[in-house]
Chains A and B, each alone.
Chain A
Amino acid sequence: MSEPSQVEIELPAEIRDVEPVQSIRTPIRMTYDYIPSSSAIASLNAYAEKRILGGVSPIDGAVFVPPRGVDPRHGVATTETVDLPDTGHIGSFCVTRLPIPGREDLEIPYVSAWIFLDGADVGFLGLVSGVDTSEVHIGMRVKALWKPDDELGRTAENIVSWIPSGEPSLPFEEAGVRGYRKRSGAKGSDPLA
């Protein structure tokens, strides 16, 4: 690759002694008034009472958590919700050994996992604690570690992390989306299976 050619630029006299601009910063900030949808509001209110809501599919009863008002497989609205327990298992997980800017509170290494609640057909992301990273495994049973009652708000952040419940683990073939496929007889290839 050839060197870029050096072009002599003749500046007008009036700006010849001005310091050249090397870079500019143009910060952008926009303010939004976010209003959660009806389904999200119900879910957030439930969190304040240490309850977890799922949305029920009108097609086959599959349970989605958090409830977003839609069964994404069929593109139909869900209106019925169901209370889910705060226990479940790890469907898949990742051990992170690098710090994240803005989350200096996370002790490294930490485990983020796809948590499948008992009775739910999809998982959602959560932190796993109270266990050595080398012992975390797919199918491991966990339960929610809630914030103290006086710190609860209308937020999913009420659940600090997921800790081992001590119950026997699920077999690999029944953990996470594999379990859904087995229960529902859903077709399609699962790259993780």
Chain B
Amino acid sequence: MRDVAIVAAGQRQQAAFTDETEVQILLPIFEQVRNDTGLEQSDIGFTCSGSSDFLAGSAFSFVGTLEGVGAYPPICESHVEMDGAWALYEAWVKLQIGEIDTALVYSYGKSSPGSLRDVLSTQLDPYYLAPLWPDAFALGALQARMMLEQDIVSRDRLTEIAVRSRDHASSSPHAVRKGDATTDFVEASPVIADPLRADDCAAGADGGCVIILAAGDIAKNVCDRPAWIRGIEHRTDAHSLAGRDLLSAQSAALAANAAGVGDDKIDIAELHGPFTHQEHLLETALGITDETIVNPSGGALAGHTMMAAGLMRIAEAATRVSAGAGDRAVAHATSGPWLQQNLVCVMEGD
């Protein structure tokens, strides 16, 4: 495997960016990662992004954000209608092939203009499920109810995860839900979709995330401590919800195994769990133990920028590895209802 590392990562996230277009959300982050590495767009071999125009209801916003990259003279680029973590995977494959030595990966989401829980219904199968408009919180609640009734998780454990998120998020500049990290506070939060309370559901946010990947010596030249990608895999469960096991995250476990998560001690795990009960499933699927700090950023629960929350997990983990807060970290990204698609990325510092 060719040595490829994350050499710069930046993000912006807040409850809503009402005054800024998607391009304007991203512009300062592009500037930051360029300043961090000294790399200009002309030094970048491949640019790849992830987003969905359904969020803001704005057609071709995914083309529009290329205006923030500086795509002139013409550049080599691609886009996935997926969380940016999958855009990173596409770029990583190109780096492995040896076609390029550097890549710029970004993703963003501005879901505040619409009702995200309803917009997400449009990703369901269009014949049997989407016409019924089961919203994202309702689907999450079905799974949580089944897990509670079959003792896969307890109400206390869900509360514990929500409190942990608020606690860790207190020191995160990008978190939109932080502080008040007490059991009483969480248990007083209103029920959104029984049995899920507001604190069991990820806090909605707008934002963007940008990462620069580089191979070999270039990575060492532009970054003091690159976060080397030692394993990255993604797997998927069935699209049909009727064919799914709600009590485990099977494709997440497969991806984690293939990426070599269990091969050595994990210092930091950044898990993309849109709900507390899904964060619990992910810890189980990845085999996380007490020696790992889970979601030091507060995780996706503390701020969930749709289409970027997964890439943000990679950014959070990589940033901590580069800063020396840990030697080996795992980041996870998910997409689709009930943790349908899962990507796992293992990073190490030198």
| Chain B contact residues: helix, strand, loop or mixed | loop
- A187, B72: Cα distance in complex, Å: 10
| Binary per-residue interface labels of chain A (19-32) against chain B in the complex, 1 for a CB within 8 Å, 0 otherwise | 00000101010111
B21, A69: Cβ atoms under 8 Å?
yes
Q: Is the CB of A32 within 8 A of B68?
A: no
Q: Is the CB of A30 within 8 A of B24?
A: no
9-residue interface stretch from A71-79, A109-117, A126-134, A143-151: A71-79
Interface hit among B126-134, B157-165, B228-236, B340-348 = B126-134
Tell me whether A137 is interfacial, beta carbon within 8 Å: no
- A 57-68 to B, binary, CB cutoff 8 A, 1 in contact else 0: 000000000001
Give chain B residues whose Cβ lies under 8 Å from the Cβ of A14.
none
Stretch from B112-120, B174-182, B245-253 at the A interface:
B112-120
Cα(A83)–Cα(B229), bound, Å: 50
Query: Which of the residues B18, B119, B126 comes within 8 Å of A30, measured between beta carbons?
Result: B119
The residue that B21 contacts in the complex, of A37, A72, A76, with Cβ under 8 A, is: A37
Q: How far is the CA of A28 from the CA of B58 in the complex (A)?
A: 16
Residues of B close to A187: CB separation below 8 A: 73
With a CB–CB cut-off of 8 A, which chain A residues contact B64? Answer: 68
A residues in contact with B114, CB < 8 Å: 30-33
User: Judging by beta carbons under 8 Å apart, are B70 and A74 in contact?
Assistant: yes
A84 at the interface (CB under 8 A from B): no
Contact with A along B41-64 (1 / 0, CB 8 A): 100000000000010111000001
Alpha-carbon gap, A68 to B56, bound state (A)? 17
Residues in B neighbouring A34, C-beta threshold 8 A? 56-58, 113
**Nearest residue in A to B18 (C-beta to C-beta)?**
A35
Task: Give A83 Cβ to nearest chain B Cβ, in Å.
Answer: 22
With contacts A70-B67, A70-B68 taken as known, whether A30 is within 8 angstroms of B19 at the C-beta atoms is: no
Considering only CB atoms, which chain B residue lies closest to A64 in the complex?
A: B67
Distance in angstroms from A32 CB to nearest chain B CB is 4
Chief secondary structure at chain A's binding surface:
loop
Q: Name the A residues within 8 Å of B57 (CB-CB).
A: 30, 32, 34
| Cβ-defined partner of B130 (8 Å) among A26, A39, A40, A76 | A26
Inside 8 A of A72's CB, which chain B residues have their CB?
A: 66-68, 70-72
The size of the chain A interface, using a CB distance under 8 A, is 24
Minimum CB–CB distance from B59 to chain A (whole Å) comes to 12
**Interface residues contributed by chain B, number (CB under 8 Å):** 33
**B139 at interface, CB cutoff 8 A:** no
What is the chain A residue whose CB lies nearest that of B74? A188
CB of B23 within 8 Å of the partner chain? yes
Task: Give the complex CA separation of A76 and B70 in angstroms.
Answer: 8
Interfacial chain A residues near B254, Cβ < 8 Å: none
Bound complex: CA A171 to CA B74 (Å):
27
Answer yes or no: A38 CB below 8 A from chain B CBs.
Answer: yes
**Given the complex of chains A and B, what is the CA–CA distance between A30 and B56 in angstroms?**
10
Inter-chain contacts of B70 with A (CB < 8 A): 72-76
* Nearest CB of chain A from residue B123's CB, rounded to whole Å: 12
Given contacts A26-B126, A26-B130, A34-B57, contact A70 B24 (CB under 8 A): yes
Q: Indicate which residue in A26, A33, A68 contacts B23 across the interface (CB closer than 8 Å).
A: A68
Chain A residue numbers with a CB within 8 Å of B115 are: 30-31
A103 and B71 alpha carbons, distance in the complex (Å): 34
B285 interfacial by beta-carbon distance below 8 Å: no
Query: Are B131 and A33 neighbours in the complex by a CB distance under 8 Å?
Result: no
**Which of A148-192 touch B at CB < 8 Å?**
187-188
- B20 → chain A closest CB, angstroms: 6
A35 x B113 contact (CB < 8 A): yes
Chain B residues with CB under 8 A of A68? 21, 23, 64, 67
- Please determine whether A26 and B68 come into contact, CB atoms closer than 8 angstroms: no
CB nearest to B25 among chain A residues:
A37
What is the CB-to-nearest-CB distance from B281 to chain A, in angstroms, rounded to a whole number?
Answer: 29
Binding site for A on B (CB under 8 A): 18-21, 23-24, 27, 30, 41, 54, 56-58, 64, 66-74, 113-115, 118-119, 122, 126-127, 130-131
Interchain residue pairs with CB less than 8 A apart (17)? A26-B131, A30-B54, A30-B114, A30-B118, A31-B115, A32-B57, A40-B21, A68-B23, A69-B21, A69-B24, A72-B71, A73-B70, A75-B41, A75-B67, A75-B70, A77-B24, A188-B73
Interface pairs A-B: 6 shortest CB-CB: A75-B70, A72-B67, A32-B57, A73-B72, A26-B131, A37-B21
